[in-house]
């Protein structure tokens, strides 16, 4: 069995749950339509939640950006006061935040695309529910109960599939947003508690960690040298 | 044959395209079993491309799909997760 048939089976099991509720389509036509409108509202709420969460992560990123700037300012102040040790520490903290933020920014960018996709899907679904409403009126007016059963069954399966699709997309976006939120939160807490002893998060590989540390350290030393040059505080060869 | 790409929409594809899709579909499953990410990505990309050559079903059409493909940016990890959450005997 290939991937697509498996996915179809998994997916159809989700759709069938929705379908079971409509046993006698002619009688339950209005009821099922109402149900779909309700589901559409749930989808809207889900999409709105993703949008809100993304905004919250963006705010968190802004705050991190500010604290990185603050550490930069601290480093300048320290250089001014001839306290290289403090400047080094401040730059370490700044580097740690900047490193963590880079990955997060990329993911927030991905999320923005996902958000756009959800909004598009929501519009499509709205159009489909509207199409179902029109079809339901036609079916009521033109078909006998037996024929209606078949016609409604078709329309219902099609729409049910779309519902399940959008619901899964919303779920996926929510999972991703939550993971990002947790990550932003963790960085935020780190920057607040100043637990940034090493500017580099562990990669799980000792050699790579060591190399990353060296790289970060070089970055910090370079920035310190640059700062000092900028402020006319070069190390005078004595 | 109507194929849905999840999070995207439905396409009607002809028999010849479907035959090619079915061959790639087997490759996909094999790649998942081998844990071969590059192989999975390549085959998946090709399948998505083939399905998209079909004609798009309009929004007002309410039709059931014959086959369903996960969203076009699905990773190997996500595909595996999908199966582990919904095991098929």
On whether residue A41 sits in a domain, the answer given is yes
Q: Per-residue pLDDT averaged across B23-31, rounded?
A: 91
- Compute the mean pLDDT over every residue in chain A, rounded to the nearest whole number: 79
Which residues of A lie closer than 8 Å to B, measured between beta carbons? 1-13, 117, 121, 124, 127-128, 130-132, 134-135, 154-159, 161-162, 165, 168-169, 172
Question: What is the rounded average pLDDT of the residues B2-24?
Answer: 92
What average pLDDT score do residues A207-228 get? 80
Query: Distance (Å, rounded) from C-alpha B59 to C-alpha B12?
Result: 13
Report the distance separating Cα A217 and Cα A99, nearest Å: 12
pLDDT for residue A238: 42
What DSSP string describes A169-190?
HHHHHHHHHHHHHHHHHHHHHH
Is A179 within a domain? yes
- What was the pLDDT predicted at B89? 43
List helix spans (H) across chain A: 3-19, 25-80, 84-142, 145-193, 206-230
**CB–CB contact B3 A9 (8 Å):** no
Q: What's the structural domain count of chain A? A: 1
Tokens 């080094």 sit on residue: A88
* Residue range(s) defining the domain that contains residue A44: 13-229
In this structure, is residue A85 part of a structural domain? yes
Q: What mean pLDDT is predicted for residues A160-170?
A: 83
* pLDDT tens string A188-204: 776 666 544 455 556 67
* C-alpha distances in Å from residue A80, one per residue of A184, A220, A226, B24: 32, 17, 13, 65
Q: Give B25 to chain A, closest Cα distance, Å.
A: 5
Residues A4-17, mean pLDDT to the nearest whole number:
76
pLDDT in tens, B45-75: 999 999 999 999 987 778 889 999 998 888 8
Contacts of A36 in chain B (CB under 8 A): none
Asked whether residue A84 is assigned to any structural domain, the reply reads yes
Residue A237 lies in a domain: no
Residue A111 lies in a domain: yes
Q: Is the pLDDT of residue A18 over 60?
A: no
A54 lies in some domain: yes
Q: What is the pLDDT of residues A114-160, one digit of tens each?
A: 888 888 888 888 888 888 888 888 877 777 766 767 777 777 777 88
> What whole-number percentage of chain A has pLDDT above 70?
84
Chain B residue closest to A170 (CA)? B7
- What was the pLDDT predicted at B18? 92
CATH number for A119 = 1.20.1260
Tokens of B66: 């014959």
Cβ <8 Å between A8 and B88: no
């Amino acid at each position: 069995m290939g991937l697509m048939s498996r996915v179809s089976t998994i997916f159809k099991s989700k759709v069938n749950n929705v379908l079971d509720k409509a046993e006698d389509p002619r009688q339950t036509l209005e009821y099922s339509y109402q149900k779909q409108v309700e589901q559409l509202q749930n989808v809207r709420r889900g999409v709105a939640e993703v949008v809100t969460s993304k905004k919250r992560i963006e705010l968190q990123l802004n705050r991190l950006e500010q604290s990185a700037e603050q550490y930069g300012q601290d480093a300048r102040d320290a250089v001014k006061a001839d306290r290289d040790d403090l400047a080094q520490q401040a730059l370490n903290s700044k580097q740690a935040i900047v490193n963590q933020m880079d990955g997060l920014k990329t993911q927030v960018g991905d999320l923005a695309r996902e958000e756009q996709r959800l909004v598009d899907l929501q519009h499509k679904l709205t159009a489909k529910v509207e199409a179902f409403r029109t079809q339901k009126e036609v079916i009521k007016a033109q078909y006998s109960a037996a024929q209606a059963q078949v016609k409604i069954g078709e329309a219902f399966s099609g729409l049910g599939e779309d519902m399940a699709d959008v619901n899964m997309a919303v779920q996926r976006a929510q999972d991703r947003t939550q993971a990002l939120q947790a990550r932003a939160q963790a960085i935020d807490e780190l920057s607040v508690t100043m637990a940034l002893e090493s500017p580099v998060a562990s990669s799980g590989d000792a050699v790579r960690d060591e190399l990353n540390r060296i790289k970060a350290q070089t970055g910090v030393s370079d920035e310190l040298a640059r700062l000092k040059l900028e402020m006319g505080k070069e190390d005078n060869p004595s | 044959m109507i194929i849905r790409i999840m999070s995207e929409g439905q396409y009607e594809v002809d028999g010849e395209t479907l035959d090619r899709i079915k061959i790639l579909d087997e490759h996909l499953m094999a790649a998942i079993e081998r844990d071969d990410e590059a192989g999975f990505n390549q085959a998946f990309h090709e399948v998505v491309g083939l399905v998209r050559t079909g004609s798009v079903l309009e929004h007002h059409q309410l039709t059931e799909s014959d086959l369903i493909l996960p969203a076009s940016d699905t990773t190997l990890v996500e595909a595996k997760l999908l199966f582990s959450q919904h095991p098929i005997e």
